[in-house]
């Protein structure tokens, strides 16, 4: 009670003058204190002390009571104060100096008046009154208060009026939903993340995410996982790929090819000089590197389209890149072409557009709350949404550059060209039903407008008219194809179509091909064999002026609906005649799955490129043909079933892939921390060193160390010295399983001791191996690469091919034209690529579902022997590891509790020193269940030697079993294949991060 009373007294005395204090030592009176008048020479000192001392609260006990006072001497209640005042008369001074005494008392009186007039709480004046005196009207009527408080209440009211912000009146829904207000609001909401033209449609039906400067649809809100797979397999899936960036290059062909050859290599496949792609007939894809740096410094994958030749030396090239890779690739292109100075239009156009948008916003504010229909000025003042730039750059940044030496011009046409993707066997039927070739027009519909003026001029040329008719005939033949994969890969078809909004059906229908119509047609068979002619790849979409004309002269939805309302028969076909817009488009065939022997052509389809502003005009007609729409997750599954790397997830050697891995690690770690410690997986006990990120650099470095440390490790008879000591003792044979079932606790204790003893040996071996490579690290870079040489990958694929007999394997290798696996063949590969990764596909033999960051390990001879004896053997188990960080985490937890208690105690004495202690708390924050500090040798940490990691894994609806995609070390792969028996080539073990169970899987490399 004494402590509570002292705090209560301190709270009462916090607004008292500093000069009014109790004596520091106990007085001679029973009351517990006396207030004596100070001597004349002390008053000036007290006044100076009072002027520099704050009147704030203080909770220190020694300010009010001396250290020698006992609880009884302090008095109870108000007795101590009364006793002090009664004893004042006995110690009255004989004489005083009036001026000094009055000066000291004046300071005390001023402090008292200030404390009385100053509020000590945040409550209003009328709230300080007793409850029986309060009235509701006091909050807004000052005269209801007592007269002594009216002046203070009046000041509070004036202060509140000045501080109150002017709140805009909330408009009703009808006003907010007006087009003039909606467009202004939408433009305001796109300051950080750009919207696609189909954003509003997606926002109502998809989970939206903000990535790469865009707001994109991630996955549908409805359950559609299997439905999207059925659409890709049997019907059609639609995706909006308009967020992909288009970089346009213009200049002489020789100059373009000369510099572009520096950023790609013929060793990986196609180049920009490919004859079929250079003619403009086909789209090409390749991997881009920094200039003259192959196979290091990977920038990312791109696709490219050459404009067909028109007889001049200058050529035009489109390079389509992922937005995560755009800045790195654009910077490299400007460097090799020496494009340092931007063009003149690149500075003026974005600035003028922003000024126009500001004026349009001013017009919106000046129109008022209502806009009458007959107000024509108000109709014209509706702001138009203009997209300048994209989410990967600042709107005020330059988007076009030119080289003064070579004359090469680079333009960023992102969001200027929209791109949709149709996936599935019926995508050709969806295209032919939705789009109709434009009719030939030789006269202008209206001389005042510029609608279709470019089309009328081109229709006057007989050669262009015949080309358009040829393109239309080929486009109609697509309806007779069973699948887009029947066309040559990457076929390009240019076309000019009419307004697709005119051909909308009354209700949703499903597009079905008509095979009987083209059953005996020789033209379809010729299209299968020869493809589209080179001249039919021409399209007017390459012309900037035509695209701008088509975008600006688009008929609005309001005018189109008004014309539909005037039809005599509601719902009949609307014929616009010469007023119908003509839109140039470009169709690009996507070949689908080309690698491997199973499901050839799966996932094939068409890409359609069209000018900006026509996104929803094409999107809704596609929806009415029965297509299903997918988002980013569906695109990820599409590439997973094709067994192709996905951008940027599966490119760990480029900057975008590394950034993606870091972001994924951060999100997974935060999700892990949100769970209670008792509900988390202890990855240290499970032997998982890195559950949230794949340590590729350390994996390749450790395998290189194993190769250098023991030169003869590739011989099957000599085991690797870095192998875990428990490898031969933790096999899941029948005897070991019987022992575990009989005494699980004893077995677990033995396994824990074995793993603990092996960890110490591994740490020492890792140190010695790293010391051996000190010389190499000083001369060469420590970064890893991904092997993309087609010749070497085909060689590795032949070595991994599963076989049941030795003779059959020799015939398979000889048929592919590959060499046998001998030291003379693979040793030069290891010397050339000591730190390389290989993209592999994994298919589980039995049950199991691979997950992200699962470990790919090498089975031992006992594992393979057990599998050959028992076909139902699912795989061995990893023994439990000992958590060496558990004691450290517990000790850190206790230290935190102790520091917390110390902070509470020091709160009264020294509050200024607490932040410094809190800042030093989290320097070495350990998390229970995660490995802390530098990782040991990742290859030999567990009982099975680590080979690589899984980047994507799930149950495959296409294969009917668990499938995974990932990377393995090239050195480890050759070591495994060289030591495995002929009938067990390519067998590996998979283990998920949160499990001890290994599963057998088949490893293949598809080219």
Token duo for residue 405: 């030496």
pLDDT surpassing 80 at residue 207: yes
Whole-number pLDDT of residue 821: 76
Question: pLDDT tens digits for 51-75?
Answer: 444 444 444 444 444 444 444 444 4
d(CA 666, CA 69): 59
Residue 786 contacts by C-beta under 8 Å, 6 or more apart in sequence?
298, 651, 652, 653, 836, 837, 838, 839, 967
Token duo for residue 1000: 């057998």
Mean pLDDT on 503-523? 79
Q: HEC states along 782-844?
A: CCCEECCCHHHHHHHHHHHCCCCCHHHHHHHHHHHCCCCCCHHHHHHHHHHCCCEEEEEEEEE
Q: Exposed (0-12), middle (13-18) or buried (19+): which is 881, by Cβ within 10 Å? A: buried
Compute CA distances 61 → 9, 72, 258, 271, whole Å: 10, 16, 86, 84
Question: pLDDT tens digits for 214-249?
Answer: 999 999 999 989 999 999 999 999 999 999 999 999
Averaged confidence pLDDT in the chain: 77
The H or E element spanning position 225 is helix 225-234
**812, 998 Cβ separation under 8 angstroms:** no
Whole-number pLDDT of residue 424: 93
Residue 166: pLDDT band with limits 50, 70, 90: low
Token duo for residue 382: 């509706």
d(CA 752, CA 86): 80
Mean pLDDT on 272-276? 89
Residue 712: pLDDT band with limits 50, 70, 90: low
d(CA 785, CA 652): 9
**33, 22 Cβ separation under 8 angstroms:** yes
> What are phi and psi for residue 794, nearest 5 degrees?
-65, -35
Residue 785 contacts by C-beta under 8 Å, 6 or more apart in sequence?
295, 296, 298, 653, 833, 835, 836, 837
Whole-number pLDDT of residue 238: 95
pLDDT surpassing 80 at residue 925: no
In degrees, to the nearest 5, what angle opens at C-alpha 99 toward C-alphas 98 and 103?
115
d(CA 265, CA 271): 7
d(CA 468, CA 282): 19
Residue 705 contacts by C-beta under 8 Å, 6 or more apart in sequence?
766, 769, 770, 772, 773, 937
Percent of the chain at pLDDT > 70 equals 74
CB atoms within 10 A of CB 101: 15
Whole-number pLDDT of residue 738: 34
User: 950 or 350: whose pLDDT is higher?
Assistant: 950
CB atoms within 10 A of CB 254: 11
E strands, 141-202, are 194-195
For 590-654, where are the alpha helices, taking DSSP H only? 615-623, 632-642
The single residue listed with the structure tokens 């495995």 is 980
Residue 822 contacts by C-beta under 8 Å, 6 or more apart in sequence?
none
> Residue 662 half-sphere exposure, CB side, CA atoms within 13 Å?
6
CB atoms within 10 A of CB 573: 9
> What are phi and psi for residue 91, nearest 5 degrees?
-115, 35
The single residue listed with the structure tokens 């501080």 is 163
Residue 671, SS3 per DSSP = helix
Is the CA virtual torsion 265, 269, 270, 275 positive or negative?
A: positive
Whole-number pLDDT of residue 126: 74
Whole-number pLDDT of residue 812: 52
Q: What would the DSSP string read from start to end of 513-553?
A: --TTTTTT-HHHHHHHHH-S-SGGG--GGG-HHHHHHHHHT
Residue 90: pLDDT band with limits 50, 70, 90: low
d(CA 608, CA 236): 14
Mean pLDDT on 198-212? 93
CB atoms within 10 A of CB 293: 14
Question: pLDDT tens digits for 831-868?
Answer: 888 899 999 999 999 888 999 999 999 999 999 999 88
Whole-number pLDDT of residue 678: 87
Question: pLDDT tens digits for 582-636?
Answer: 999 999 999 988 888 888 889 999 999 999 989 999 999 999 999 999 999 999 9
CB atoms within 10 A of CB 457: 12
Query: Which candidate, 574, 626, 240, places its Cα nearest to that of 429?
Result: 626
Q: Exposed (0-12), middle (13-18) or buried (19+): which is 570, by Cβ within 10 Å? A: exposed
**499, 530 Cβ separation under 8 angstroms:** no
User: 89 or 574: whose pLDDT is higher?
Assistant: 574
Question: pLDDT tens digits for 737-794?
Answer: 333 333 333 344 334 434 333 333 333 334 333 333 333 333 333 488 999 999 999 9
Residue 450: pLDDT band with limits 50, 70, 90: confident
The partner residues of 217 in beta bridges, in order of sequence, read 208
User: 395 or 956: whose pLDDT is higher?
Assistant: 956
Residue 971 contacts by C-beta under 8 Å, 6 or more apart in sequence?
700, 703, 704, 706, 707, 830, 834, 836
CA 471 centroid distance within chain: 41
Mean pLDDT on 895-917? 68
> What are phi and psi for residue 483, nearest 5 degrees?
-155, 145
User: 846 or 380: whose pLDDT is higher?
Assistant: 846
Residue 325: pLDDT band with limits 50, 70, 90: very high
Q: At what angle do helices 632-642 and 225-234 cross, to 10 degrees?
A: 50
**785, 296 Cβ separation under 8 angstroms:** yes
Query: Which candidate, 500, 623, 501, places its Cα nearest to that of 560?
Result: 501
Query: Which candidate, 301, 304, 297, 340, places its Cα nearest to that of 322?
Result: 301
pLDDT surpassing 50 at residue 98: yes
Buried/exposed 840-859: b ≥16 CB within 10 Å, e otherwise: bbbbbbeebbbbbbbbbbbb
Whole-number pLDDT of residue 895: 85
Mean pLDDT on 882-905? 83
The partner residues of 306 in beta bridges, in order of sequence, read 317
Buried/exposed 111-144: b ≥16 CB within 10 Å, e otherwise: beeeeeeeeeeeebbbeeeeeeeeeeebeeebee
For 643-733, where are the alpha helices, taking DSSP H only? 655-674, 696-709
d(CA 328, CA 18): 67
Query: Which candidate, 321, 350, 325, 353, places its Cα nearest to that of 249?
Result: 321
Write down the number of H helices and E strands in the chain.
35, 23
Compute CA distances 598 → 594, 643, 715, 967, 973, whole Å: 9, 11, 35, 21, 24
> What are phi and psi for residue 209, nearest 5 degrees?
-130, 155
d(CA 973, CA 706): 13
The partner residues of 605 in beta bridges, in order of sequence, read 423, 590
Whole-number pLDDT of residue 541: 92
Residue 419, SS3 per DSSP = strand
Token duo for residue 684: 């240290």
**471, 437 Cβ separation under 8 angstroms:** yes
Token duo for residue 156: 């509070």
């Amino acid at each position: 009670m004494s402590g509570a009373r002292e705090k209560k007294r301190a709270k009462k005395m916090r607004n008292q003058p500093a000069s009014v204090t109790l004596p520091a030592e106990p007085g001679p009176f029973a009351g517990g204190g006396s207030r004596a008048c100070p001597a004349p020479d002390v008053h000036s000192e007290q006044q100076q002390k009072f002027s520099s001392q704050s009147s704030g609260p203080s909770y220190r006990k020694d300010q009010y009571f001396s250290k020698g006072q006992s609880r009884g001497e302090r008095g109870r209640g108000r007795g101590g104060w009364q006793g002090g005042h009664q004893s004042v008369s006995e110690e009255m001074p004989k004489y005083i100096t009036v001026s000094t005494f009055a000066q000291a008392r004046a300071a005390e009186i001023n402090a008292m008046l200030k404390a009385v007039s100053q509020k000590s709480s945040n409550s209003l004046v009328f709230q300080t009154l007793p409850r029986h005196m309060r009235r509701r009207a006091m909050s807004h009527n000052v005269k209801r208060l007592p007269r002594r408080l009216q002046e203070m209440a009046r000041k509070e009211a004036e202060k509140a009026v000045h501080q109150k912000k002017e709140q805009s009146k909330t408009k009703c829904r009808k006003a907010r939903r007006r087009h003039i207000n909606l467009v202004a609001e939408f433009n305001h909401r796109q300051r950080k993340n750009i919207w696609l033209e189909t954003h509003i449609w997606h926002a109502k039906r998809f989970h939206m995410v903000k990535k790469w400067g865009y707001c994109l649809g991630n996955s549908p809100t409805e359950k559609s996982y299997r439905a999207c797979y059925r659409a890709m397999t049997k019907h059609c899936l639609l995706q909006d790929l308009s967020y992909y960036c288009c970089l346009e290059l213009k200049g002489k062909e020789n100059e373009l090819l000369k510099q572009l050859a520096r950023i790609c290599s013929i060793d990986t496949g196609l180049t920009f000089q490919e004859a079929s792609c250079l003619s403009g007939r086909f789209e090409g894809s390749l991997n881009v590197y920094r200039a003259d740096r192959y196979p290091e410094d990977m920038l990312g994958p791109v696709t490219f389209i050459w404009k067909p030749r028109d007889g001049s030396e200058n050529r035009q090239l489109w390079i389509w890149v992922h937005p995560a890779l755009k800045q790195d690739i654009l910077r490299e292109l400007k460097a090799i072409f020496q494009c340092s100075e931007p063009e003149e239009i690149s500075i003026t156009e974005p600035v003028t557009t922003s000024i126009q948008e500001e004026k349009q916003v001013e017009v919106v504010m000046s129109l008022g709350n209502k806009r009458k229909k007959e107000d024509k000025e108000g109709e014209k003042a509706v702001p138009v949404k203009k997209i300048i730039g994209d989410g990967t750059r600042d709107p005020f940044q330059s988007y076009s550059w030119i080289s003064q030496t070579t004359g090469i011009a680079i333009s960023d046409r992102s969001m200027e060209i929209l791109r949709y993707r149709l996936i599935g066997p019926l995508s050709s039927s969806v295209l032919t039903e939705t789009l109709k070739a434009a009719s030939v027009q030789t006269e202008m519909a209206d001389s005042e407008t510029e609608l279709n003026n470019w089309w009328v001029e081109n229709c006057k040329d007989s050669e262009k008219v015949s080309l358009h008719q040829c393109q239309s005939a080929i486009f109609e033949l697509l309806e007779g194809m069973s699948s887009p994969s029947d066309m040559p890969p990457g076929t390009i078809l240019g076309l000019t179509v009419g307004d697709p909004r005119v051909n909308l059906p009354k209700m949703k229908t499903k597009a079905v091909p008509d095979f009987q119509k083209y059953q005996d047609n020789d033209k379809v068979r010729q299209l299968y064999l020869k493809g589209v002619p080179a001249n039919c790849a021409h399209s007017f979409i390459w012309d900037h002026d035509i695209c701008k004309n088509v975008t600006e002269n688009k008929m609005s939805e309001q005018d189109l609906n008004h014309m539909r309302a005037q039809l005599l028969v509601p719902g009949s076909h609307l014929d616009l005649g010469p007023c119908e817009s003509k839109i140039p488009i470009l169709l690009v065939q996507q070949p689908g799955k080309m690698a491997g022997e199973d499901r050839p052509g799966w996932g094939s389809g068409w890409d359609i490129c069209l000018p900006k502003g026509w996104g929803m005009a094409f999107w809704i007609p596609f929806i009415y043909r029965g297509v299903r729409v997918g988002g980013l997750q569906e695109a990820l599954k599409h590439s997973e079933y094709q067994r192709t790397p996905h951008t940027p997830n599966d490119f760990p050697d480029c900057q975008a892939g590394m950034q993606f891995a870091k972001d994924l690690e951060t999100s997974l770690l935060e999700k892990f921390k949100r769970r209670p410690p008792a509900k988390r997986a202890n990855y240290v006990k499970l032997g998982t060193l890195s559950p949230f990120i794949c340590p590729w650099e350390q994996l390749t470095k450790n395998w290189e160390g194993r190769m250098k440390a023991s030169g003869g490790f590739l011989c099957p008879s000599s085991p690797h010295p870095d192998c875990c000591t428990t490898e031969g003792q933790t096999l899941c044979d029948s005897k070991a399983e019987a022992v575990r079932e009989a005494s699980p606790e004893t077995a677990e204790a033995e396994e824990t001791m074995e793993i603990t003893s092996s960890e110490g040996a591994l740490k020492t071996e890792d140190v010695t191996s790293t010391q051996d490579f000190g010389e190499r690290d000083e001369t060469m870079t420590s970064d890893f690469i991904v092997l993309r040489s087609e010749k070497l990958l085909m060689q590795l694929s032949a070595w991994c091919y599963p076989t049941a007999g030795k003779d059959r394997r020799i015939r398979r290798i000889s048929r592919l034209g590959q060499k046998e696996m001998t030291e003379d063949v693979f040793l030069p590969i290891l010397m050339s690529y000591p730190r390389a990764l290989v993209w592999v596909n994994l298919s589980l033999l039995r049950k199991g579902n691979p997950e992200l960051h699962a470990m790919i390990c090498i089975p031992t001879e006992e594992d393979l022997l057990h599998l050959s004896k028992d076909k139902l053997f699912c795989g061995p188990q990893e023994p439990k590891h000992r958590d060496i960080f558990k004691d450290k985490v517990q000790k850190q937890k206790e230290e935190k509790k102790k520091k917390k208690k110390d902070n509470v105690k020091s709160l009264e004495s020294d509050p200024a020193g607490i932040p410094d202690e809190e800042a030093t708390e989290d320097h070495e924050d350990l998390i229970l269940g995660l490995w802390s500090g530098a990782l040991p040798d990742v290859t030999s940490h567990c009982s099975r030697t680590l080979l690589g990691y899984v980047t994507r894994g799930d149950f495959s609806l296409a294969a009917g079993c668990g499938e995974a995609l990932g990377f393995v070390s090239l050195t480890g792969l050759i070591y495994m294949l060289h030591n495995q028996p002929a009938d067990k080539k390519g067998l590996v073990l998979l283990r998920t991060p949160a499990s001890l169970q290994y599963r057998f899987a088949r490893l293949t490399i598809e080219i």
